[in-house]
Amino acid sequence: MKISAMWKAVVGGLAAGAAAAATAVQDGSLTTGEGVTIVLAVLASYGVTWAVPNRPTRQGFPGEGA
């Protein structure tokens, strides 16, 4: 299955944002600092996930027969 770098970053960002949001609303309120943390988690996840390339297909690994 081929997943483009864009969709990989979107899913990673949504997962990071959801995790940060779930942690932030444990006390029943959302402060400005928690909101900033959620946004930063999403943006950091987008950047890191976009920068890391997908692994090559099996035929691209050295030492394996094609």
Residues 6+ apart with CB under 8 A from 26: none
pLDDT of residue 60: 52
pLDDT of residue 61: 56
**What confidence tens digit (pLDDT) does each residue in 7-60 have?**
888 888 999 999 999 999 999 999 999 999 999 999 999 888 878 777 766 665
- Quickly state the pLDDT bin for 6 (edges 50, 70, 90): confident
CA 21/CA 5 separation, integer angstroms: 24
CA 43/CA 50 separation, integer angstroms: 11
CA 27/CA 49 separation, integer angstroms: 30
